[in-house]
Amino acid sequence: MNNSSTPALPSFWRRIPLAFGAFFSTLSDAEYAARIVRLADAPLTPTPAAAPVAAAPAPTPAPAPAPAPAPAPAPAPAPLRDTAPDAALQLLTLFQREARLIDFTQENLSAYSDADIGAAARVVHEGCSKVLREHFTIEAVRSEAEGSRIVLEEGFDAGAVRLTGNVVGKAPFRGALSHRGWRASSVRLPKLADAHDASVLAPAEVEL
């Protein structure tokens, strides 16, 4: 179907009667003849060109998928402090001098009776207690009596209180105090001379 507004051109056989009719009408009708003259003198109107068909717009590319978020960096490990070994060596020296602790732990006890071991353990216990009393102030971490029920609120010091048993969920935790813990509130180790070799825990003895 032609939807254009331009009228269809008449065929050859249709133009024959039109030509004869126009010929006789021009001879007999002055006004008709004038219209023919005006039509002949009018400039030809060019047939309007068909409007160009607009090109189909290029398909819009699909947006690129958003990049996956980078994983959060792992927390940096807590820095570790270097500890001077001299203090630990000095403490071993004190335990050996007052309680013969190193002698006791280095001895093969399988050849001794339980009574002999018990007597030696009493000497070690008394000597170690003396060292701790003289060079440290030791206090309990928790003031409650062992066996009492306590509540650990959120933010409790995990370095001072260790959870045991069925540890599930998060604070607050409720449980029984099985051990009060210990902390050293002060340390009083003797000073060492610069030339002192702290690695010698007990000098060898030579009897003359």
Reduce the DSSP state of residue 152 to 3 states and report it: strand
Compute the distance between CA of residue 87 and CA of residue 92 in angstroms, rounded to an integer.
Answer: 9
The answer for 67, left when phi > 0, alpha when psi is -120 to 50, beta otherwise, is: beta
Average pLDDT, the chain: 85
The confidence band for 153, taking pLDDT boundaries of 50, 70 and 90, is: very high
What is residue 186's predicted lDDT score, i.e. its pLDDT?
97
Confidence of residue 31 (pLDDT cuts 50, 70, 90): confident
What token pair was written down for 129? Answer: 């207690």
Percent of the chain with pLDDT over 90: 58
118's tokens = 């018990």
Calculate ∠ Cα 201-203-207, nearest 5°.
155
Pick the residue with more confidence: 80 or 89?
89
What lies within 8 Å, CB to CB, of 143 at 6+ separation is 180
Question: Does the pLDDT at position 131 exceed 60?
Answer: yes
Reply yes or no on whether the pLDDT at 47 is more than 60.
no
Residues in contact with 80: Cβ distance below 8 Å, sequence separation at least 6, in sequence order: none
**How many Å is the Cα radius of gyration of the chain?**
57
